[in-house]
Amino acid sequence: MFYVSSSPWNLYRFLDALFARNDVPRGPMFLRDLGLTEDGVGASHGSHKGAAIDAILAANPDLPAYLMGDSGQKDAAVYLDAVRRHPGRIRGVALREPAPGTGDNDAAAFAAIAAEGVPCYHAPDFDGALDHWGLS
């Protein structure tokens, strides 16, 4: 398990404690640096997540990848770009819709991910993702 988040590094201890309290499997966290850049403060959500996904896949060339995130946070577009940059490496995508309607703008990206041959699961929670990916 690798965790890629746009949360800044100063939340690491909080996230680590939250994961431990909820029995989330431990794994490396790729959090965002907040600093001044030409584009403002810190890397953008998409560029941070995309670069972290690229680094994880490069360091683990034989590891199958399943990407999980939230709709409404541009994760669908980030994951579509990753699917296209790494053909055959991404085995499934799951996007949680934390509030009704938050995934409305992601419908085209969901369809495009599926058109690339990658099963894309979208629901209010992740409960059916393994079945959708044929892993249960």
What domains can you pick out in the chain, each with its CATH number?
Answer: 3-133 (3.40.50)
Torsion angle, CA of 132/134/135/136, rounded to 10 degrees? 80
Q: CA angle at residue 18 from 53 to 130, to 5 degrees?
A: 55
**What is the band of 103 on the pLDDT scale with cuts at 50, 70, 90?**
low
Give the pLDDT confidence of 20-47 residue by residue, as tens digits: 999 999 999 999 887 666 665 555 655 8
Write down the pLDDT at residue 84.
Answer: 96
d(CA 120, CA 93): 5
Averaged pLDDT, 64-92: 91
d(CA 76, CA 105): 10
